[in-house]
Structure 1
Amino acid sequence: MIYVIKFIYSFVLPPGTFVVLLTLLALWLLWKKQRGPAVLLLAVTLLLYLASAPMIANPLMRSLESRYAQPEQVQGDCLVVLGGGATTGTPDIDGKGSLGGSAASRLLTAVRLHRLTGLPVLFSGGQVFADSGNEGDIARRQLLGLGVDERSILIENRSLNTEQNAEFTAALMKEHGLSRPVLVTSAFHMQRAVAEFRQAGMEVQPYPTDYHISAAASAAWYAGKLAPSPGAIETVGTTLKEYLGILAAVIKEKI
């Protein structure tokens, strides 16, 4: 019964409610014999539905997340963590501002790897928007709060995108005599990040984390995968953004 209620809710709340309303409007146009506008509206509605359906979003995201596997053994001289968003002014245990979901997940993985390997942690990320936090500064505070020694922390807090992450990190590593980065970022972001670091002259050992889709998601099937979901729209948007970024990196490499 719980799953039936969840399925119904998905069509009562956005984006499902928009799919229902647009479909009804298209049927009304057909009833009014306005075939052209009705067909166009149905096509738009179908695109909206497909973009919001987990059965489409999950395989798209998995196509990125499955590109690299976590290595069995870490081989490098520095753990490089890429930022992924932060808030400013929000309360935290020991200060103001917090890393966003993906950035926090990446940082947590790096701290665990640091405890296993003793490698220094280099966090890369600046303040992307006027109302967002400076990721590098927040990461420094949180790394210290998690017990990482200050001598094992390097911060790059100026970069605004993945290209600058790679460029500024390469310079900072060179300054500290480091040359073999273990790259820690979200699995969906790894392919683009590896390409940007390669263009910056650095070969990395990828260590993907922050997986969004279960490994068994492609095998499991249930009615909920047909239900429109705002999370699925976000997943599709994230995936398309990454593929555009990968395409841009490929074009830039060939120019």
Structure 2
Amino acid sequence: MFLIEKFISLSLLSPLPIIIILLFVGVGNLFKKRKKSGLVLILISTFLYLASSEVFIDKKLYDLENSYSIISEKNLEKGEVYVLLGGGIITTTGEGNIPGIMPAVRIMKTAEYYKKYPKKIYISGGSPLQNQESESSVYARELISLGVNSEDIIVEENSKNTNENALFIKQELEKNGIKNIILITSAFHMKRSMFIFEKNLDGVEIIPAPCNFLASKEKENFFYYIPKYYNLLKFQLWLWETIGNIYYKIKY
């Protein structure tokens, strides 16, 4: 009974009804000799199903996220400093500016690592809109609230993308003679980040510390095939990073 109730609730609160309607209308149009509109609707329904189902997107995201493993205790102790990359802020809350959902996990991980092995934290992230508070300053405030000493935080507030993160952080590292860093960002963003940092930071050892893994590690089951709205966010992240990886490799 529980499985039936779960199936019904997941089906009704998912893109499945929309996918089925689009598919049936598309097939109906084919029978009515409206081939173009029929094919378009069938393609849209197929795309929507793949983009919202774990059976497709989790496999793609898993491959992207597992380009690098979780940092080992040995490497965590070895790194000279932490470098935390920005990933957006939310400016429309009643509490003022707060970290976005994804970078919030990065911040918590950074604080966790800091408590184990206290060392300087370099935060890289400017303000996409000039009149906004920078990502770095928002993250710094959160880290301090989590017990990080404010004197151990260095903010870089000029960068607006991953390449600029690397370039501006490079300047800060050179000032202080740092030759070994622990790079902290979301697992889906680590592949592109490592490519850019290794390209720009000659002579600096970069230790990846991916966090915020989103792809499910569960074995496939019946519910794996039911489309869900939150998988569309995973698809968006995977697509953005895939395009970003291609673009950065061509440009840099």
Superposition TM-score, scaled by structure 1 size: 0.88
**Counterpart amino acid of residue 209 in structure 1:** C
Q: What amino acid does structure 2 have at the position aligned with 1:193?
A: S
Matched AA of 1:224: F
Once residues 230 and 100 of structure 2 are traced to their aligned partners in structure 1, the CA distance between those partners, rounded to angstroms, is 16
Summarize deviations over 1:60-115 as a string: whole Å, max 9, x none. 110011111123212221100111121125244xxx32111211111111111111
Q: Deviations over 1:156-213 (max 9, x none)?
A: 1222111111111111222233231110111111110011111222441111111112
Q: How many residues align?
A: 247
1:10 positional shift: 4.1
Match of 1:32 in 2: 32
Determine what percentage of the aligned residue pairs are the same residue: 27
CA distance in 2, matches of 1:131, 1:231: 31
Q: Secondary structure at the match of 1:183?
A: strand
| Residue equivalent to 2:224 | 225
SS of structure 1 residue aligned to 2:239: helix
Tell me if 1:208 matches 2:210: yes
Partner of 1:173: 173
| Matching residue of 2:243 | 244
User: Which whole-Å CA distance do the structure 1 matches of 2:138 and 2:18 have between them?
Assistant: 39
* Residue type at the aligned position of 1:250: K
Q: Which runs of 5+ in 1 are unaligned?
A: none
Alignment partner of 1:83 out of 86, 99, 105: 86
Aligned to 2:18: 18
The alignment partner of 1:194 has SS state of helix
SS in 1 for 2:127: coil
C-alpha distance in structure 2 between counterparts of 1:246 and 1:252, whole Å = 10
Aligned equivalents of 1:56 and 1:243: distance in 2?
15
1:205-253 residue CA offsets vs partner (Å, 9 max, x unmatched):
1111111124x33xx1222211111111211121121121111222223
- Closer, same or farther: CA 71–140 of 1 in aligned 2, 3 Å: closer
* Cα distance change, pair 88–44 in 1 and its aligned pair in 2 (3 A): closer
Matched, 1:70 2:70: yes
Deviations 1:38-61 (A, max 9, x none): 233212211221111111011111
Q: Which runs of 5+ in 2 are unaligned?
A: none
Q: Provide the secondary structure at the position in 2 that maps to 1:207.
A: strand
Aligned residue type for 1:210: N
- Range moving further from structure 2, 126-135 or 36-45: 126-135
**1:8, distance to aligned residue in structure 2 (A):** 3.0
Counterpart in the other structure of 1:108: 108
- Residues 29/131 of structure 1: CA separation in 2 closer, same or farther (3 Å cut): farther
3-state SS of 2:182 partner = strand
In the aligned structure 2, how far is the partner of 1:18 from the partner of 1:133?
40
Other-structure match for 1:119: 119
1:143 partner letter = L
Distance in 1, matches of 2:154 and 2:130, equals: 24
Amino acid corresponding to residue 205 of structure 1 in structure 2: I
The answer to whether the 8 Å contact 1:126/1:136 transfers is: yes
- 1:199 and 1:5 map into 2 onto residues whose CA distance is 52
2:244 partner amino acid? G
Query: 2: CA distance between counterparts of 1:179 and 1:32?
Result: 68
